[in-house]
Amino acid sequence: MTSTEFPFTLPLGYVDAEGNTHRDGIMRLSTAYDEIAPLRDPRVQANPGYLVLILLSRVITRLGSLEQLNPKLIEGLYSADLIYLQDFYQRINQNGHSRLHVACPHCSGEFEVEPIPVGESPATPQTDYARR
């Protein structure tokens, strides 16, 4: 069965009015209506760049403890988080998953990896052999 919801962690996080940072969220796959409906919005007609804000507010179902997202909240994200979400949106809607297809520069073997958000540590501790 295909998953339609995908967890993510923002590089910086949304800081609400009380100073709480919200980084972990859930994004669902978009529907055709999610992509078509914002085109009728006057904000998009006046400024096509606003489309992404409306679209993300429709497909992000949770961000931290926030369950009601709107375009105004998305406007308050740091640019790094907005760029991350746009990339994440493209990956899950084009591929049906959030993994990246990569090739090893040494052996040319191809495989998929789950990206580690900026500022996060990998699950497996890394040695510093590469620095030697």
121 occurs within a structural domain: no
Rounded Cα–Cα distance for residues 129 and 132 (Å) = 5
* Radius of gyration, CA atoms only, the chain: 17
* In a domain? residue 107: no
Q: How many CA atoms lie within 13 A of 116 on its CB side?
A: 7
**126 or 60, greater pLDDT:** 60
Q: What is the H or E stretch that residue 94 is in?
A: helix 79-95
Asked if residues 25 and 63 have their Cβ atoms less than 8 Å apart, the reply is yes
Q: Is residue 105 part of a domain?
A: no
Q: Kindly tell me if the per-residue pLDDT of 122 is higher than 90.
A: no
35: domain range? 5-97
Rounded CA-CA distance 52/37 in Å is 12
Tell me how many domains the chain contains. 1
Q: Report, in this order, helix, strand and coil percent for the chain, each rounded to 5.
A: 40, 25, 35
Which pLDDT does position 101 carry in this prediction?
Answer: 57
Rounded Cα distance between 108 and 92, Å, is 25
pLDDT digits 0-9 by tens, 50-105:
999 999 999 999 999 998 899 999 999 999 999 999 999 999 998 765 555 557 77
Residue 117 lies in a domain: no
Tens-place pLDDT, residues 20-49: 999 999 999 999 999 999 999 999 999 999
**Other beta carbons within 10 Å of 93:** 17
By the 10 Å C-beta count (0-12 exposed, 13-18 middle, 19+ buried), 85 is classed as buried
